[in-house]
Amino acid sequence: MGAVTATRSASPWLLLAAATLALFMVGTAIAEDAAAPGGIPPGTDIERLRGITADLRCLVCQNQSIADSHAGLAIDLRNQVIKLMGQGKTDAEIKQYMVDRYGEFVLYDPPFSASNAALWAGPFLLVLVGLWVARRAIAARAAAAPGTTLSAAEREALEARYRDSAS
């Protein structure tokens, strides 16, 4: 009787787990179908598509490429890349198209330019300023510390005191 009771109480959990798995699989299939209207057109170079979309940042997620993101804007951007590839655009032309519309932020590795020079040089400047501040602090501490050199008379007095305490 105990085994029948355990089976009856476990079946709702088993049913819930199976339903969750089924929903996950359907959701994944829907997300993959959303990559392009009607799927990816035949003849599309998948490796090239992955390469281009991996270099473009999802503007919604900001820490994912449009290849990895399932956000609506990322799907639209992937579709735009597919459309531009179909028009015979080169990788550089496709990336420039995206930069023209969304700015350099859309690129994961933006080129060095005057407008982003502070972003490229900032970390190095912070390290240099930190080293300068540390050096000044160490020098100030060394200047504030009392001298550690003893005169000949002070040394004689210490040695005498040491000899007296040792005996």
The more confidently predicted of residues 77 and 27 is: 77
CA–CA separation, 136 and 153 (whole Å): 34
Residue in 85, 59, 54, 93 with CA at minimum distance from that of residue 73: 59
User: Helix or strand or coil: residue 56?
Assistant: strand
Q: Which residues pair with 57 in a beta bridge?
A: 65
In this prediction, residue 93 carries a pLDDT of: 92
107 phi/psi in degrees, rounded to 5: -90, 135
pLDDT digits (tens, 9 = 90+) for 61-92: 878 888 888 888 888 888 899 999 888 888 88
Q: What is the dihedral of CA 109, 110, 114, 120, to 10 degrees?
A: -20
Which strand (E) or helix (H) includes residue 139? helix 117-144
pLDDT digits (tens, 9 = 90+) for 126-160: 999 999 999 999 988 877 766 667 788 988 998 99
Average pLDDT over residues 49-67: 85
Domain with CATH 1.10.8.640 in the chain: 2-112
pLDDT digits (tens, 9 = 90+) for 88-127: 888 889 999 988 998 888 887 777 777 777 777 888 999 9
CATH fold for domain 2-112: Helicase, Ruva Protein; domain 3 (1.10.8)
